[in-house]
């Protein structure tokens, strides 16, 4: 219906956004009639979301005209932010920002480089940036999950770890079961989502390609490729992060440097 009135794509998008806003406000009015008063939060969220996403669109408009190198610079910046975010999950683990940055940098960096080199990811910025950022986001998520689980496992097994040390085991033997549990925990959600791919959900990349008019089988295959990359990057990142952090929690004299508390 709208496309009968608005012929140029920008006006059409603005009109669509307005319709969506009216729909959300309608929901808000029904909710407030039912005694659920979230007017302020909903209005602020709508305005914020709209401004932010349009700003990103505007930046991308500008960036997409630049050289490929800009894409890699942006991805590097995202990796820094991702490491900063993952650090919050480490709760008292030593040097977690740097460890997370190594994990994400090497994990996501090598997968992006390899897939770009192999031609699975196009160096066109319109592909490199969204797919690259998705890989980084998943790498960050894997790091957070691994660090969170690792610190939890270590704190609840201080007695076992120190018993192993007291029996003459090297730190890497003493920590192995807990490091393995952390890597496994970070991979399980990825394996689950790969297994239920297409049945329980049609994820973002495929949905986007379908909306953009791609051949459904082509869109489906590329979605599978993306999910496999996410699985690979998650495993690689959490392995690297966990291996490094598992060394850092021991002193040179092979003492466990963190306690059950904190």
Partner 1 sequence: MTHLNDAPSPRLEARNLTRKVDGKPIVDRVSIKVFPAEVLAVVGPSGAGKSSLLRLINRLDEPTDGVVFLDGRDYRELPPRELRRKVGMIMQMPYLFPGAVAENIRFGPRQRGEDLSDDEIERLLARVNLPGFSHRDVSRLSGGEAQRVAIARALANNPEALLLDEPTSALDEEAKAAVEALLAEIIREEGLTCVWVTHDLAQAARMGDRVALMEAGRLLRVGAPEEVLNA
Which residues of this chain interact with partner 1, rule CB under 8 A? 159-160, 162-170, 173, 251, 253-256
The three-state secondary structure class of 225 is: helix
Can you count the helices (H) and strands (E) in the chain? Answer: 10, 0
Structure tokens of 140? 């960050």
CB of 211 to partner 1, least distance (A): 50
The residue (of 98 and 248) whose beta carbon lies closer to partner 1 is 248
The residue (of 92 and 170) whose beta carbon lies closer to partner 1 is 170
The residue (of 32 and 173) whose beta carbon lies closer to partner 1 is 173
Structure tokens of 141? 């998520």
CB of 188 to partner 1, least distance (A): 20
Angstrom distance (rounded) from CA 67 to CA 63 = 8
Q: CA 20, 59, 137, 98: dihedral to nearest 10 degrees? A: -140
CB of 169 to partner 1, least distance (A): 5
The residue (of 69 and 167) whose beta carbon lies closer to partner 1 is 167
Q: Residue 228: is it exposed, middle or buried by C-beta count within 10 angstroms (0-12/13-18/19+)?
A: middle
The residue (of 63 and 169) whose beta carbon lies closer to partner 1 is 169
- Residue 254: its H or E element: none
CB of 163 to partner 1, least distance (A): 4
CB of 97 to partner 1, least distance (A): 24
Q: CA 223, 227, 233, 237: dihedral to nearest 10 degrees? A: 140
């Amino acid at each position: 219906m709208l496309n009968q009135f608005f012929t140029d794509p920008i006006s059409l998008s603005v009109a669509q956004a307005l319709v969506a806003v009216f729909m959300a406000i309608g929901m808000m009015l029904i909710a407030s009639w039912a005694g659920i008063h979230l007017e302020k939060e909903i209005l602020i969220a709508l305005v914020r979301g709209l401004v932010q996403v349009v700003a990103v669109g505007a930046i991308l408009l500008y960036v997409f005209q630049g050289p490929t190198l800009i894409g890699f610079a942006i991805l590097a910046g995202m990796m820094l932010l991702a490491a900063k975010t993952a650090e919050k999950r480490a709760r008292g683990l030593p040097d977690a920002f740097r460890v997370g940055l190594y994990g994400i940098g090497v994990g996501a960096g090598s997968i992006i480089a390899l897939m770009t080199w192999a031609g699975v990811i196009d160096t066109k910025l319109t592909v490199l940036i969204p797919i690259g950022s998705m890989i980084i986001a998943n790498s960050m998520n894997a790091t957070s999950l691994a660090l969170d689980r690792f610190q939890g496992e270590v704190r609840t097994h201080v007695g076992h770890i120190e018993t192993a040390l007291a029996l003459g085991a090297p730190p890497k033997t003493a920590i192995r079961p807990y490091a393995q549990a952390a890597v496994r925990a970070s991979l399980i959600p990825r394996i689950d989502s790969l297994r239920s791919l297409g049945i329980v959900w049609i994820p973002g990349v495929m949905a986007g390609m379908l909306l953009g008019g791609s051949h459904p089988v082509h869109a489906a295959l590329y979605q599978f490729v993306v999910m496999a990359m996410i699985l690979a990057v998650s495993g690689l990142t959490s392995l690297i992060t966990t291996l490094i952090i598992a060394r850092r929690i021991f002193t040179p004299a092979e003492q466990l440097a963190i306690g059950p508390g904190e």
